[in-house]
């Protein structure tokens, strides 16, 4: 909800109950004052000499409005003016109706009073009857000093009007004008503040879109300007920390890259020496087994180092891809050539097939080659002796399809979707004993996702696993 709308809603929510409360209190005050005045009028009237006798002698006529005499010889008796004024010249004149102590009306056609009033009159001299703040009519039942006869209780009726007896609000609704003016002033005063906040929001968004190079500044000396300066200081600190983090990550990537290069060179030489040693130990079975194991461990260490180097580049907020045309035919040939020695050592036949024409994709060469290498490494490493691995590249109408098929033990169906999880090693049949780094297929999945390629795993009907990588070809 926008700020101005929120303020308007809150203002209305506060003002409406306040206005209703003032109106209700004003009506209650006027009714209370009129009730007190009417009770005093009835008491004063009945306290006059002979008033009780006149009421009991003719309760039907007593209390009715008496016309004003028109001349000095007028025969109609004018009742004396009461000492307590009626509710006001704008209210109706008081009307009196006598009742018995049991609240039976002493005049035909008079209104019956609720029995609840009788209970109230036991503890008080007078009590309001059917008080309704929304109605201007005021009715009060007054108990007389005597408890018998047709005039034991007098019901006096009058009316009250806004802005008169007991009121604290003016009769006209003009008092609402200052309230409305104050509320409008609050809303109008908020408009420039909201506009400045909107400018600050736009400045912050523009600064964020530009990498916080340009500070989000809003001129002025108020709190919004202070907030702008706080954002500027915060963005500068964030920029400094991001730059420091980038420097650390760059240094770490360079260190890993250099270390990988420095380690891979002697490791490659070591694997070549081990291969020569194995070739010379064909007839020496006791020594041949340790050499084969050493070669396997060397391949494993090489794959681990290469994957750690890839993870160093991928484990950033926004991995940077060095995109360019990549020949997948050449990638397959290099990966197969690199893993052929390992396949021979493990007794696995490794074959490949690619189209005659090169299949080009727009990709990061290092990442794509590492992704394919990881799949081929897993297919060989987790296969059986005398197993087979095939790397097949096909051109499709939307692009390419690269499949790596093996006839190893396969993967339980419930674990297929977990192969790309970082650190997941699968069952013992495909595990490296009970160990394994669990990075290879996770890296392949990440690389495929970054390039917009698809990656699927499925068990083959004839046994083994098929890993499919597909995507669009380069235009």
Q: Which sequence spans correspond to the domains of the chain?
A: 3-64+78-171, 215-320, 323-475
Q: Is 419 exposed, middle or buried (0-12, 13-18, 19+ CB in 10 A)?
A: buried
Fold classification of 323-475 (topology level): Heat Shock Protein 90 (3.30.565)
Q: How many CB atoms lie within 10 A of CB 11?
A: 16
Contacts of 98 (CB under 8 A, 6+ apart): 55, 59, 62, 63, 105, 106, 107, 150, 151, 153, 154, 155
Token pair in block for residue 171? 């009769």
Query: What's residue 84's pLDDT?
Result: 45
Distance CA 205, CA 263 (A): 46
Task: For tokens 């083959």, name the residue.
Answer: 460
Token pair in block for residue 345? 């050592």
Query: What's residue 89's pLDDT?
Result: 40
pTM above 0.75, yes or no: no
Low-confidence ranges of the chain (pLDDT < 70): 1-3, 64-91, 211-213, 257, 260-262, 264-265, 278, 282-285, 288, 308-309, 311-318, 423-438, 475
């Amino acid at each position: 909800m926008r700020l101005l709308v929120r303020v308007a809603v809150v203002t209305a929510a506060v003002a409406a109950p306040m206005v209703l409360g003032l109106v209700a209190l004003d009506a209650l005050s006027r009714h209370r004052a009129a009730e007190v005045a009417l009770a005093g009028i009835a008491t004063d009237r009945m306290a006059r000499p002979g008033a009780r006798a006149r009421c009991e002698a003719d309760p039907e006529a007593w209390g009715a409005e008496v016309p004003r005499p028109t001349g000095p010889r007028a025969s109609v008796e004018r009742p004396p003016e009461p000492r307590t004024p009626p509710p006001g010249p704008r209210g109706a004149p008081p009307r009196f109706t006598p009742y018995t102590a049991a609240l039976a009306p002493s005049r035909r056609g008079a209104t019956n009073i609720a029995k609840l009033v009788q209970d109230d009159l036991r503890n008080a001299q007078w009590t309001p009857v059917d008080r309704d703040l929304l109605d201007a009519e005021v009715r009060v039942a007054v108990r007389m000093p005597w408890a018998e006869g047709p005039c034991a209780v007098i019901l006096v009726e009058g009316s009250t009007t806004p802005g008169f007896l007991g009121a604290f609000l003016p009769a006209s609704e003009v008092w609402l004008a200052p309230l409305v003016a104050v509320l409008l002033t609050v809303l109008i005063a908020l408009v420039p503040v909201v506009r400045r906040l909107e400018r600050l929001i736009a400045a912050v968004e523009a600064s964020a879109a530009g990498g916080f190079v340009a500070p989000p500044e809003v001129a002025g000396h108020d709190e919004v300007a202070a907030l702008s300066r706080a954002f500027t200081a915060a963005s500068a600190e964030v920029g400094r920390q991001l730059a420091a983090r980038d420097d650390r990550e760059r240094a770490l990537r360079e260190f890993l890259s250099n270390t990988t290069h420095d380690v891979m060179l002697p490791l490659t030489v070591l694997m070549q020496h081990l291969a020569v040693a194995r070739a010379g130990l064909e007839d020496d079975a006791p020594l041949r087994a340790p050499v084969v194991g050493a070669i396997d461990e060397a391949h494993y260490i090489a794959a681990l180092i290469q994957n750690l180097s890839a993870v160093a580049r991928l484990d950033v907020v926004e991995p940077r891809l060095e995109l360019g045309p990549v020949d997948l035919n050449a990638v397959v040939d290099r990966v197969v050539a690199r893993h052929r020695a390992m396949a021979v050592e493990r007794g696995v036949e490794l074959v490949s097939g690619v189209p005659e024409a090169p299949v080009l994709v727009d990709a990061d060469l290092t990442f794509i080659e590492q992704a394919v290498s990881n799949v081929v490494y897993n297919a060989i490493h987790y296969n059986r002796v005398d197993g087979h691995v095939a790397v097949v590249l096909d051109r499709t109408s939307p692009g390419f399809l690269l499949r790596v098929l093996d006839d190893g033990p396969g993967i339980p169906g419930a674990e297929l979707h977990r192969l790309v999880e970082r650190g997941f090693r699968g069952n013992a049949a495909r595990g490296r004993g009970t160990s394994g780094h669990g990075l290879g297929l996770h890296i392949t999945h990440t690389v495929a996702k970054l390039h917009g390629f698809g990656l699927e795993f499925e068990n083959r009907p004839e046994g083994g696993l098929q890993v499919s990588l597909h995507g669009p070809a380069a235009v």
